[in-house]
């Protein structure tokens, strides 16, 4: 079974401009994703867990596309060999926005099969949960 990329697509009852702000601004990310994102200093931490990861914005084209890398190992700078590439693509649709998410890089980090499987499963479940929260939150914003 393929475990290289997580892919999701959802419809959000909000404009692409609103959705872009909600996926790029730290005050919004804290609400729907539960992270403290500090893109300016390259860190992201999950509230209550103590987990801090390095993050690097790769591309930000309002209101269409937001791409960042985040690194699983704490303290390391994200590179294509040690990080995940998360891409949000936004397009207007039916009075709202279609959001397409991809997260790539699971195979590239070089994990053994069981670790790869567990991380892929964890990220898949996490995105399902957080994208549902994003949909609700953005529609209210």
**Token pair belonging to 29:** 């990310």
pTM score, two decimals?
0.92
The pLDDT of residue 73 is: 58
In this predicted structure, the answer to whether residue 2 has a pLDDT above a threshold of 70 is: no
In a 10 Å sphere around its CB, with 0-12 CB exposed, 13-18 middle and 19+ buried, how is residue 99 labelled?
buried
The mean pLDDT of the chain is 91
Q: 27 Cβ partners below 8 Å, 6+ apart?
A: none
Q: What is the 3-state secondary structure (H, E, C) of the chain?
A: CCCCEEEEEEEECCCHHHHHHHHHCHHHHHHHCCEEEECCCCEEEECCCCCEEEEEEEEEECCCEEEEEEECCCCCCCCCCCEEEEEEEEEEECCEEEEEEEEECCCCCCCCHHHHHHHHHHHHHHHHHHHHHHHHHHHHC
Among 3.40.50.2000, 3.30.530.20, 3.30.590.20, 3.40.190.10, name the CATH number for the domain at 5-140: 3.30.530.20
The pLDDT of residue 23 is: 98
Q: How many CB atoms lie within 10 A of CB 56?
A: 16
C-beta separation of 102 from 7 below 8 A: yes
Q: pLDDT tens, 67-94?
A: 999 986 566 788 888 889 999 999 999 9
């Amino acid at each position: 079974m393929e475990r290289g990329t997580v892919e999701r697509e959802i419809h959000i009852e909000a404009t692409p401009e609103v959705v872009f702000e909600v996926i790029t601004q730290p005050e919004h990310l804290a609400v729907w994703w539960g992270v403290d994102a500090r893109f300016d200093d390259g860190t992201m931490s999950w509230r209550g867990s103590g987990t801090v990861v390095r993050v690097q914005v790769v591309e930000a084209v309002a209101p269409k596309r937001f791409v960042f890398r985040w690194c699983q190992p704490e303290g390391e700078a994200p590179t294509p060999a040690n990080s995940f590439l998360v891409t949000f693509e936004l397009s207007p649709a039916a009075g709202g926005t279609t959001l397409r998410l991809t997260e790539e890089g699971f195979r590239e980090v070089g994990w053994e099969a069981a670790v790869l499987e567990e991380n892929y499963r964890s990220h898949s479940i996490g995105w399902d949960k957080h994208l549902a929260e994003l949909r609700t939150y953005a529609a209210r914003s």
